[in-house]
Structure 1
Amino acid sequence: MVPPETHVYAKRVLAGADGEADDPGVVGGVTVGDPARAPVRPGGPGRSRRFFTRSTSREEKARAVRGLGALGGLAGVIVALMLLPAACTAGVGARDSADWFLTEPEGLTTAGVPLRSKVLSEDGRTIATFFYQNRVDVPLEKIAPVARKAVLAIEDSRFYEHGAIDVQGTLRALASNVSSGEVTQGGSGITQQYVKNLLLTQADTDEERAAAKEITAARKIRELRYAVAIERRFTKDEILRRYLNIAYYGDGAYGIEAAARHYFSKHASELDLAEAALLAGVIRYPYAYDPTRHPREARQRRNVVLDRMIELGWVDPAEAEAAKNAPVDLKVTTTRGGCVSSEAPFFCDYVQREILTNRVFGETAEEREKLLKRGGLTIRTTMDRRAQKAAQRAVLDYVPAKNSAHKAAAEAMVEPGTGEIKALVVGRELGPDKERGKTWINFAADASHGSSIGMQAGSTFKAFTLAAALDEGMPFGTRLRAPEKYTPVGFRNCDGENVGDPSASLGNAADGEGGRSFSLVTGTRNSVNTFFLALQKEVGLCDTVKMAEKLGMRQANGKPLEQYPSFTLGFNAVSPLRLAAAYAAFGARGKYCEPIAIKEITDASGKKLKVPPRKCEQAIDEGVADAVNHVLSGVLTRGTAAGMGIGRDAAGKTGTVDNFSAAWFAGYTPDLAAAVWVGDPRGGYRHPMTNLCLEGRCYGAVYGATIPAPIWRQSMMGALRGTEATSFHRPPSFFFSKGSGEDRVQVPDVRGMKLGEALSRLRAAGFETRIGERVRSGRYDPGVVADMSPGPGPAEPGTTITLRVSDGPGREERGGRPGGGEPPPGPPGTPLPTTTPTLPPLPGDPEEQAPA
């Protein structure tokens, strides 16, 4: 015997003809039997209803059935359903076929509904969205009750009374459709409509989408089985919530929350009666009732919904009439997907490429794209909006996007010790390169994250040679002669091969000067090319390359750095992001971290997804990094970027590429590092930066300090405004073992001067001063300087000069020396033999004294 429940479902299935539209996202099915729920077409009210009560001949009914067969095979659906349960599983008994129908289908899943993903800045601000369908999933309590009522009134007013299949509604739909000879009304309730939309959104291929839309017995039976299973799995409230979030509301808005934001610029929880009725009316035919395209038809449909709500007693008639008389008042907000409309387009593009290319997010490109555009992800990034805005403003202030010279600039900012990318800027809009001031290429990033092949880095690479020299124990005072021209011979790469061209001659055309000796300090400050070629040879080309590699450097195309003598002059093409991350390691006392842009990702359910891990390591010793910081700090005070300080401890290096084809500045504090490139995307050698004018500012030849350094200074000051300054650490005293590395100058003779005058004279010459114990002197009057140590002669600027003031002659000098005789021989002011000299401390460590 067939269970009573089976008979109920069999009866419901008999009424299964629907009139759902086949367009993706169009929700079909209106509960029939009510004038307000007949389909309405643009240009007029809905068709009149027809019931079995109409006088119709048997022949006319047969023609109607044949007509249904011509409409996508609906006749086959009806015939198949009438044979259920006997024919549903050919040759199987009624009980088995009933059991089959009531058994939950294999593979039934409610996952896969496309949800839009959002990209957030560090402070939680949305900077971009990605979606296949613009949908924002919200809980039922965040949908205004009047909106729920409006949808139920026009789509399925008996939703909370019937099961998966509305017997009354589908029977009336069948009657109307058979009587008219065409599909005029649908019989699907909200659960069935949810199922159909679910299958459509889960379809990945054209074949799957066609199968989800075809009007066949097989499809209808599958949907009905799914509907039965859905009703068993979820409460009515949950089904209604899912339906409201999956339905298509026209003009690219999927789900009621996205529709409310799009049409009215408000949340679904804030919808009023007229707005709710308008959205509820759109569901039946989203394209026909789209209020942005067909406002008259949308208004008519809205009023149909309001009439239905009055008929059901779900709204106050006076309130409904007022809503019917109101105009369709839209406040359209367009939600653009992707990075083009983002406030940080190139940072957004970096994040997008990270997800689309990293296998952490899926084995195939298709899986990764599906995750991003359909997964409803919340992507929390490292971007600091203050730093991003500061960098964008600085870049565009100096190199406007649509400048007549066609130059471009890019900047990357990285946090030392974490590798977090705080800002990523290209001084152009994200878009087609054929349009002036736009580009798809992210010049701030590597090819893997921006399609850029990189740019030659110029003298910024000298920092790696300096670091290698300090790592090998060279003190600051190490001096090498820098010739006017340098022939690059005697270099070996890491494979032990001789590299270099004896016929080549490298000089100092871009930075600095040659023809004399320099220390590590002065050679770096002046960015002397030939000095660094000589230093690289002393250190070893391979060791210099390995130092750069330890600090994360590689070519922008992903390949290892090329190894030639001009390595230290920066011929390798790299990205600002790589360079900023390397310099950030100096600021972090030798700790290098791979750049990262993503902190955390959660899916629509709040579950955390795996993201690329942080990769940090101690690349160089802390003391070596401290020494690098000490030397590079001088670039901003006495070197090629003098005057570019930012009011706190900072260090950096200029870079000028051959023939002024590009210019760089890379600099950092312990809190933030940044690298700036300025050049011509059309080719720097073909379009050098000489006699350059940019929006009212004209330059002769552009060096690293000309445009990149000011951009760096402005952006760093803006990014760090309001943050507490962190100081560099003092280098180990060993690095001062050969002095400070400053060029030696003449110490002025201040003996015989009054103390105040002597102090001023020495300080003006660049020396530090200290007052020692008073001394007895018959040669100098009391109160004037009688002794200085070290005495007059060459010394390094910054050396501490100890001054001793005369206290007048002693007893022996007043009365003469015992036994008579003259004072000890020597020039005036020679210390008495009994005077013990006090030597100045090393600049690096006040606790230690210089060796005697």
Structure 2
Amino acid sequence: MLLPTACTAGVGARDAADWFESEPEDLSTSGVPQRSKILAADGSTMATFFYQNRVDVALDKIAPIARRAVLAIEDSRFYEHGAIDAQGTLRALASNLNSGQVTQGGSGITQQYVKNLLLAQADSAAEQRAAKEISAARKIRELRYAVALEKRYSKDEILRRYLNIAYYGDGAYGIEAASRHYFSKPAAGLDLAEAALLAGVVRYPYAYDPVHHPVAARERRDIVLRRMAELGWIDRRLADATARLPVKLRVQDVKSGCVTSKAPFFCDYVQREILTSPVFGRTPGEREKLLKRGGLTIRTTLDWRAQRSAQRAVDRHVPAKNSARKAAAEAMVQPGTGEIKAMVVDRKLGSNKERGKTWINFAADASHGSSIGMQAGSTFKVFTLAAALEEDLPFGTRLMAPRGYTPVGYRDCKGRRVGDPSKTLSNSADGEGGRTFSLVTGTHHSVNTFFLALEKKVGLCETAKLAERLGMRQSNGRPLEQFPSFTLGSGQVSPVRLAAAYAAFGARGRYCSPIAIRQITAANGRRMKVPGAGCKQAIDEGVADAVSHVLRGVLTKGTARGMGLGRPAAGKTGTVDNFSAAWFAGYTPDLAAAVWVGDPRGGYRYPMENLCMDGECYGTVFGATIPAPIWRQSMLGALAGTPATSFHRPPSHYFSEGSGEDKAKLPDVRGLRLRAAVAKLRAAGFKVRVDRPVESRKYKRGTVAEMSPGPGSVEPGGTVTLRLSKGAKHGRPDRRGGDGGRGGGREQVPVPPATPEPGDHGRPSPQPDRLP
């Protein structure tokens, strides 16, 4: 065989034979594409990635009958001959000539393995053409490689490698992937009929693919059965009986990528982590090759219970195809580890040309989901609060919160003056300003002008640096911008980073960068390096405990009252100026989450005022309107069955000026006439509004029957709602005043005139947590 080549090259036959028998320097058996899989924390498969759908298995994981079927039709003397089987080649030629078709292969298993190996290793189109070209040079190269491999590996190992590399049609590479694809079972469970079918496909997979060519596939299967009987490997009657059976398939498609994953945006986050991190390769091309060819097992931090809970909550409140075209996203992070437990968007992963889909991960940064981020609103006030507590300001520290605030006297970390002295910032509702607040009450009511004053007191630079210590940066990766409106959340950030920052408060000041990957194992079993959380003590434990103490009140008496979890929890609402977006970020010592709701088309162009969505109307949307209920529902589900963990009591020096609750005694005015009741309440520093009257057996008609809040210790300066008595019920109820009627309106009871405070319109204030 080598003589013509040797003569052409001008060398002797002996030299040619020596060259042929020597170990090729370029012979490598690595680089065979294998599919990678992403696993959740419990080990279940979330998604797979591949160029070729292949699962490499050991020989004992392949049914013996399947091994014999392949050997029968491809190389029955495999264990008897060397790399080149001249007898088998001549026999196959004679058999094929007699039958008029190709029934047996001329190349042995080792040669076929080499051919498949070179084709699998080909990266470029030129390499693929070289691996498939019909030429003597290619055949000699393959034969030389086959001789070398017979020296390097045992027969069993070569057979194993061949069965794992061969193409079985319809996108299935290797016998394990083929068995799962066609029969929904592992290769270890193949029976005779199934084994013969797969063995027959190998020779011409595009012609014998049983999904697209069932008749040809069955005919080829029966040829395999007859060949096995001829060799005496199975009984003739068994072969005939099996040939009478129809082909039964249970096709199971495996899709590559995150689109069909049950956690698509978390999956996409993991994918982008690998494709963008230099830990996994020097270039994007190398990293993509590793993911789609490397046979990686990627174990992640995803908690299915948290993921499903968050998805249900988001979909319930902001459905994917809602009539208002709003969107929502949530990220859940474990305090103390930085592990991302859930990441959801109220969309499916896909082109936004189809309604209800998007490629943009609104929960992540630009590097992990293409999102440019969203203004965080008043959720950023927590960093100013933490900076103040870090300077040991006690809870009772009081600052004047004017109705309008001109931002002057601020300096950034470079010492430059920042701010617009021509612009006056104000609170989101009348009546919130014009008096002093403590650290506690200013936070509970999220008073803008209070936090602008507090930020100036502790320093803009100090506030920004503290936020950066807790991992905050813009979604584009750049440092946070330093302007007076920093504390009001003017920066563009992502839910996952905000959740990680709030998680640090739950972990008593220990900040961990958000991570989604726990471990990666390569195809050869080697563990790869993965990015770590880099946990560190970002703020003192006592400072974090004090922040948690204040934020717990937001859920019980502040802007998110009624959103508690029935266990120790803390949080902060956030409403972006002009109602362009709304947030809620909250945490327990066990789990933190941040929720964003807005409009992907642009929040300023499509604000959430007078919002009606799928038949439900919200009016103006604050952080407590939609985001907080999403947070509450998702947290309740995620923490179900988890024992409650308590926060730590703050250091005593924070109480040096009292609790900061600013309680005042609210006099009991029930039973008094309206004028007397109003005078007494105003003398105590309270505002008054009158609601519709109620029936009462206890109080005379025209006197105060109910007051809200009730008498006792309350926050000073608040509004007290009075309801006058209509007397006891006699006969049919009076529907004119709205008591049980259709109107539901307020009975017009005039409030005795008083000298109003500037800006006091005598009505309750909505949550004041946005820019003007």
Measured after TM superposition, the shift of residue 175 of structure 1 is 7.0
Measured after TM superposition, the shift of residue 216 of structure 1 is 1.5
The equivalent position to 1:377 in structure 2, one of 280, 296, 311, is: 296
The equivalent position to 1:267 in structure 2, one of 163, 186, 189, is: 186
After superposition, what is the alpha-carbon deviation per residue over 1:270-309, rounded to whole angstroms, capped at 9, x for unaligned?
1111111111111111111111111111111111111111
Amino acid at match of 1:350: Y
Amino acid at match of 1:132: Y
- 1:740–1:796 Cα contact (<8 Å) kept: no
After superposition, what is the alpha-carbon deviation per residue over 1:590-636, rounded to whole angstroms, capped at 9, x for unaligned?
11111111110001121101111231111111100000000011000
**205-214 vs 430-439, which deviates more?**
205-214
After superposition, what is the alpha-carbon deviation per residue over 1:108-133, rounded to whole angstroms, capped at 9, x for unaligned?
11111111001011111110100110
2:173 alignment counterpart: 254
Separation in 2 of the partners of 1:715 and 1:95?
77
1:65 alignment counterpart: none
After superposition, what is the alpha-carbon deviation per residue over 1:395-421, rounded to whole angstroms, capped at 9, x for unaligned?
111111111111110000001111111
Measured after TM superposition, the shift of residue 702 of structure 1 is 0.7
After superposition, what is the alpha-carbon deviation per residue over 1:483-517, rounded to whole angstroms, capped at 9, x for unaligned?
11111111111111111111111111269821111
Separation in 2 of the partners of 1:582 and 1:426?
20
- The 3 A distance-change label for structure 1 pair 185 and 278 is closer
2:107 alignment counterpart: 188
The equivalent position to 1:666 in structure 2, one of 559, 564, 585, is: 585
The equivalent position to 1:496 in structure 2, one of 415, 439, 444, is: 415
Residue 101 (str. 1) matches residue 20 (str. 2):
yes
- 2:75–2:105 Cα contact (<8 Å) kept: no
Residue 83 (str. 1) matches residue 4 (str. 2):
yes
Amino acid at match of 1:87: C
Amino acid at match of 1:663: A
- The 3 A distance-change label for structure 1 pair 122 and 485 is same
Measured after TM superposition, the shift of residue 87 of structure 1 is 3.2
Separation in 1 of the partners of 2:179 and 2:99?
37
1:609 alignment counterpart: 528
2:594 alignment counterpart: 675
Measured after TM superposition, the shift of residue 93 of structure 1 is 3.4
Separation in 2 of the partners of 1:497 and 1:591?
31
After superposition, what is the alpha-carbon deviation per residue over 1:79-118, rounded to whole angstroms, capped at 9, x for unaligned?
xx3436x437x33333332221111100211111111001
SS at match of 1:413: strand
Separation in 1 of the partners of 2:64 and 2:441?
75
- 2:183–2:252 Cα contact (<8 Å) kept: yes
2:29 alignment counterpart: 110
Residue 326 (str. 1) matches residue 245 (str. 2):
yes
After superposition, what is the alpha-carbon deviation per residue over 1:709-756, rounded to whole angstroms, capped at 9, x for unaligned?
00000111111111111110000000000100012302889xxxxxxx
Separation in 1 of the partners of 2:493 and 2:119?
46
2:702 alignment counterpart: none
Q: Superposed, which structure 2 residues align to 1:285-684 within 5 Å?
A: 285-509=204-428, 513-684=432-603
Separation in 2 of the partners of 1:110 and 1:220?
18
- The 3 A distance-change label for structure 1 pair 193 and 645 is same
Measured after TM superposition, the shift of residue 180 of structure 1 is 13
Separation in 2 of the partners of 1:171 and 1:282?
23
- The 3 A distance-change label for structure 1 pair 578 and 737 is same
- The 3 A distance-change label for structure 1 pair 696 and 634 is same
- 1:347–1:425 Cα contact (<8 Å) kept: yes
- 1:510–1:657 Cα contact (<8 Å) kept: no
Amino acid at match of 1:91: G
User: Percent of counterpart pairs with the same letter?
Assistant: 77
- The 3 A distance-change label for structure 1 pair 393 and 793 is closer
Measured after TM superposition, the shift of residue 256 of structure 1 is 0.6
Measured after TM superposition, the shift of residue 191 of structure 1 is 0.4
- The 3 A distance-change label for structure 1 pair 202 and 793 is closer
- 1:510–1:656 Cα contact (<8 Å) kept: no
Measured after TM superposition, the shift of residue 169 of structure 1 is 2.3
The normalised TM-score by structure 2 is 0.85
Separation in 2 of the partners of 1:416 and 1:322?
63
Separation in 1 of the partners of 2:533 and 2:582?
31
Measured after TM superposition, the shift of residue 315 of structure 1 is 1.1
Residue 216 (str. 1) matches residue 135 (str. 2):
yes
Separation in 2 of the partners of 1:795 and 1:686?
40
- The 3 A distance-change label for structure 1 pair 377 and 685 is same
SS at match of 1:690: coil
Separation in 2 of the partners of 1:794 and 1:718?
35
Separation in 1 of the partners of 2:487 and 2:161?
62
Measured after TM superposition, the shift of residue 698 of structure 1 is 1.8
- 2:74–2:104 Cα contact (<8 Å) kept: no
- The 3 A distance-change label for structure 1 pair 163 and 260 is same
After superposition, what is the alpha-carbon deviation per residue over 1:182-241, rounded to whole angstroms, capped at 9, x for unaligned?
999752111000000000001111111111111122211111111001111111111111
Amino acid at match of 1:725: A
- 2:73–2:105 Cα contact (<8 Å) kept: no
Query: What is the CA RMSD across the aligned residues, in angstroms?
Result: 2.2
Structure 2 unmatched ranges of 5 or more? 669-683, 685-710, 717-772
Amino acid at match of 1:670: P
SS at match of 2:205: coil
SS at match of 2:596: strand
Separation in 1 of the partners of 2:584 and 2:369?
21
The normalised TM-score by structure 1 is 0.77
Amino acid at match of 2:4: L
**162-171 vs 648-657, which deviates more?**
162-171
Residue 207 (str. 1) matches residue 113 (str. 2):
no
- 2:521–2:527 Cα contact (<8 Å) kept: yes
After superposition, what is the alpha-carbon deviation per residue over 1:141-167, rounded to whole angstroms, capped at 9, x for unaligned?
111111111111111111111110111
SS at match of 1:443: coil
Amino acid at match of 1:130: F
Separation in 2 of the partners of 1:666 and 1:223?
63
Separation in 2 of the partners of 1:238 and 1:338?
31
- The 3 A distance-change label for structure 1 pair 130 and 510 is farther
Separation in 1 of the partners of 2:509 and 2:191?
60
Structure 1 unmatched ranges of 5 or more? 1-13, 15-80, 750-764, 766-791, 798-852
Q: Superposed, which structure 2 residues align to 1:56-71 within 5 Å?
A: none
Separation in 2 of the partners of 1:708 and 1:794?
31
2:757 alignment counterpart: none
1:74 alignment counterpart: none
2:62 alignment counterpart: 143
Separation in 1 of the partners of 2:583 and 2:427?
17
SS at match of 2:618: strand
- The 3 A distance-change label for structure 1 pair 456 and 510 is farther
Separation in 1 of the partners of 2:442 and 2:660?
9
